[in-house]
Structure 1
C-alpha cells in the first residue's frame, strides 16, 4: 500500500527546500548580472551554461539509478540494493570518462573553431569551459548518493542538503562580488566549482555514514551482469537527457549566431525561470516517484495508474498556481528580479511558461516508463522528436523569423513528446491513453485558459504594482484550486488528497 503520511511529509519537506533554492537562484542571478555586466553575462551563458543544461543529465541519471534502488527496496533485498549502489558508482565513473573524452575533443574543437569569441576573450572562454566541465563531472558523480536518498524516501535529509546547497550558492556569489577580478567570468566559474565540490563532499560523507545500502564496496568482478544492465539502462537514459541538453544548447547557439550574445544572455535568464519551474515540478514528482517505481516492481499496476493520474493532475495544479502570475505580470516581476532587463527577456519568459505548462504533464509518465525499463525504442523516438524541433528552429531562423518564433519550436516539441509518452505507457500498463488525451488534458487546458483570462482581468482592470502582484498571486491560487477541484479531479482522487492532508495534520 502507498504510505500517504510519508508522501505528505516528504512533499512538504521538498517544497520548503525548493522555495529556498528558487529564492537563492533568482537573487544570485541578479547579483551576477550586476557584477558581470550584460555582455560578460551573455558570454558566460554561452559556455558556463553547460552546468545548467547538463543538470538534465544528473536528473535523468538519478531517476535511472533510483529505479534500480527502488526495485531492490521494494523487494526488501538490501544486499542486492547495496550491490546496485556500488555498481552505479562504477557506471557513473564510466559516464564521466565518456563525457570528459567528448568534452576535450568534439566540444573543445567546436569551442575553439566555431564559436565567434572576441580575440581578447578566447583565453577566458577556454578556462570557463574547462572549469565548467570539472563542475559537471562532480555533479554526475554525486548522482548515486542523491538517488539513494530519494529511493530511501529520506526527504528530510535531502531537504537539509538542499538548504546547504542554497547557502553555498549565495555565499560563493557574495564572495565573488566582494572583490574586483581582472578575469571576471573565470573567477566566477572557479567560485561555483568550489561550491559544487563542497556539496559533493556533503552528499558522500552523509550517505556513506548513515545508510547501509550506501556503503562503498565496489566489486566489479562480482557484478559484471548488473554493471552491464545498469550501464545499458543508464546509457539509454543518458541519450535522452543529452537530447534535452542538445535542444537547449542548440537553440542557445543558434540564437548566438543569428541574433547575438545579448539575446543569448536573455535566453540563459529565461532558462533560469525554466529551471525554477522544473524544481517546482520535480519536488512533487520526487515525492511520488519512489512509490510509482516500487508499486510497479511488485506488479501493482492499478496503483501505478492511480499514482500517475494523481501526480499529473497535482503537478498541473501547482504549476498553474505558480506560473500564471509570472505569465500575466511578467514585465513587473522581471523588473523586481533584475536591476537591468536585457532585450527579448519578457516575451521569452512568457514562452517558457507556456512550454512548462505543457512539459510538466510528462513527468509522471517518464517515471512510469523508467519503471517499465524498456528504454531503447523510447529514447530513439524522443531524441528524433527533439532533433526535429531543433531543425525547425534552424529553418525558422534561416527564413528570417524572430527569436520568439524560433524559440516557440520547443513548445511544439513538448506537446509532441507528451502525446508520445502517454501512448507509450498505455501499451505497458492498464492506463488508457484516451482517458488522458480526450478527458484529463482538455479539462486541465480549460482550467488553464479560464485562470489566465481571470488573472488578466485582475491585472488590467483592478490593482497594479506590488500590491496588485500580491493580490494576483492570492486570488489566482484560490481560483485555480476551486476550478481544479470542480473540473480536473474525480471523487476518488479528491478523497486521496484529503486523506494525505488529514494524515499529515
Structure 2
C-alpha cells in the first residue's frame, strides 16, 4: 500500500509539473528553478544538523532511552530555529545581492524573480524548522506517514495548478506565494502528528551545554559534506544559468523532477532501512549491520534500475508524451541524471553506516572534497567551450570515485569487507545491468520510433530486469524471503476479498 500511495503521488506530481511548465513557459519555469535552487544552496547549514538529529534520535531509540530522546528533540528544535534565523540573514543580504546582480534574468522579469526569491526563502525556513519533526517520524519508522502526507502535498500542488489558470495575476509571482502556503500547511501536519503520537516530541525550551556541544560537533563535521553536496548541485545550476541562460535551467529542472520522481521509491526504502542500521550499530550487532549494508546497497540499485531502464532508453518519447514543451537539452540531461542517481543509490546505506559510527571527520572531508570538485571542473569545462551536458559527465565520474572512497573509509570505521562488497553487490549489479539492457536496447536500435516500439521496449525492459534480478542478482536466501513476502501479501489481499464477498 505504501508504494501504491507513492505511485498515486508520482502520477499527480508529474501531471502538475507538465501544467506548471506549460502555464509559466520555459523562461519563467527556468527562473523559478534557478532562483529557488539558489535559495537551497543555504541548506548546507540545515543538512548537516538534519543528519545529526536523525542519527541521535535513532541512537536513543536503540538504547531505549525516551528521556534522552525528548531532550535531543527539544535541543534540535532550538538549534534549527537558530539556523533558520542565520539563513534568513544571509539570504536577505548576500543572497539577494547575488540574485539581482549575477544571475542571468531578463530585466522585465527581475521583479517576479524577487518575489520567487523572498517566498522561497520563507518556505525554506519553514522546512528547516520541520526537520526535527520529520526525524522523529523516521526514527520511529512510521514511513507510511510520509506517503499519506505526500498525497496531501501533491493534491495541494495540483490545486495550485488550477489556481494559476483561474487568476490573472502574474503567474510566476502567484506560483511562488502558493508554494509557500503549501509548505506551511505540510509543516503543521507533521508537527500536529508528532505531538499527538509521540509525547516525547513536544518542544520544551531548555539548555544543556554538553548535549548542545555533542550535537553541534557532530553536525560540524557533517557541515563540510553537506556544503559540498549542496554547493556542487545548486552551484552547477547557477553556472548553467550564467553560461547558457534561464532556458537551460528549465531543462535541468525537468530532468531533476524525473530524478526526484523515480528516486522517491528508493529514498523511502532507504529511509526505512537507515534507522535499523543505526540501531544495530548502537546495540553492537555489527554482523547484522553489515548484512543491512550489503542488502540495502544492492536492493536500492535494483529497485531504481527497474524503474529507470525504460525511461533511459525511451527518454525522448516519454518527454514528448509528458510535456507539450520539451526544452532543449532535456533528453540528455534526464538520461545522465538518472545514470548518476543509479550510482549514488549504492552509497545511501554506506553514508548511514558512517553516521552511525559517529566518526565522520575523515568521511565527510574526503567525500565532500570529491563532490565539491564538480563545481570548479564544470566551470573550467564551460570556459573552455564544452557543452552544457559536460557537467553531468563530470558528476558521474566523481560519483564513481566517491563510492569507492566511501568503501575504503568504512573498512576502518565499521570493518566492512571491500572485496566481499564488490563480489556480492557491485559484480551482481554489473551482470544484471549488462543482461537486462541487451534486448530492449536492441529493439530501440533496430525499430523506427512508434507506439509499438515504445510498448515493446517498456515491456521487455521490465521483464528482462526482473528476470535478471531474480535469477542473478539474488541469492538463495533472498529468493526464499521474496517468495514468502509475496505469498503473505497475496494471502492478505485474497483473504480481505473473501471477507468482503461474504459480508
Return the TM-score normalized by structure 2: 0.91
Rounded Cα–Cα distance in structure 2 between residues aligned with 1:268 and 1:210: 37
Whole-Å separation in 2 of the counterparts to 1:71 and 1:346: 43
- Taking structure 1 as reference, are residues 60 and 159 closer, same or farther at Cα in structure 2, changes over 3 Å only? farther
Shift of residue 238, structure 1, vs aligned partner: 4.0
Q: 2:260 aligns with which of 275, 278, 282?
A: 275
Matched, 1:163 2:148: no
Per the TM alignment, residue 53 of structure 1 is displaced from its structure 2 partner at its CA by 6.8
CA gap of 1:145–1:36, structure 2 versus 1, over 3 A, is same
Q: Which residue of 2 aligns with 1:9?
A: none
Deviations 1:178-208 (A, max 9, x none): 2122x32221100100000000011111111
Residue in structure 2 matching 1:41, options 29, 32, 37: 29
Query: CA separation of 1:466/1:138 partners in 2, compared to 1, >3 Å: closer, same or farther?
Result: farther
Match of 1:89 among 68, 77, 89: 77
Partner of 1:314: 299
The residue correspondences of 1:46-65 to structure 2 (distance < 5 A) are: 46-50=34-38, 61-65=49-53
* Residue in 2 that maps onto 1:230: 215
Name the count of aligned residue pairs.
490
The correspondence for 1:111, drawn from 99, 114, 118, is: 99
Q: Does 1:202 align with 2:201?
A: no
Matches within 5 A, 1:50-449: 50=38, 61-181=49-169, 183-220=170-207, 223-437=208-422, 440-449=425-434
Task: Tell me the secondary structure at the aligned position of residue 204 of structure 2.
Answer: coil
- Cα distance in 2, alignment partners of residues 456 and 22 from structure 1: 26
Change (3 A) 1:424 1:492: farther
Identify which of 482, 491, 494 aligns with 2:467: 482
How many Å separate the matches in 2 of 1:254 and 1:324? 29
CA distance in 2, matches of 1:239, 1:176: 39
> 1: CA distance between counterparts of 2:114 and 2:355?
37
Distance 1:290 1:388, change over 3 A: same
CA shift, 1:346, in A, is 0.7
1:229-265 Cα deviation digits (max 9, x unpaired):
1223234334322322211222112211222221121
- Higher relative contact order by CA 8 Å / sep ≥ 6: 1 or 2? 1
SS at match of 1:49: helix
**Which whole-Å CA distance do the structure 1 matches of 2:478 and 2:425 have between them?**
13
Deviation at 1:464, TM superposition (A): 5.6
Structure 1, 319-328 or 152-161: larger mean CA deviation = 152-161
Q: State the 1:61 CA deviation.
A: 4.8
CA deviation after TM superposition for structure 1 residue 422, in Å = 1.6
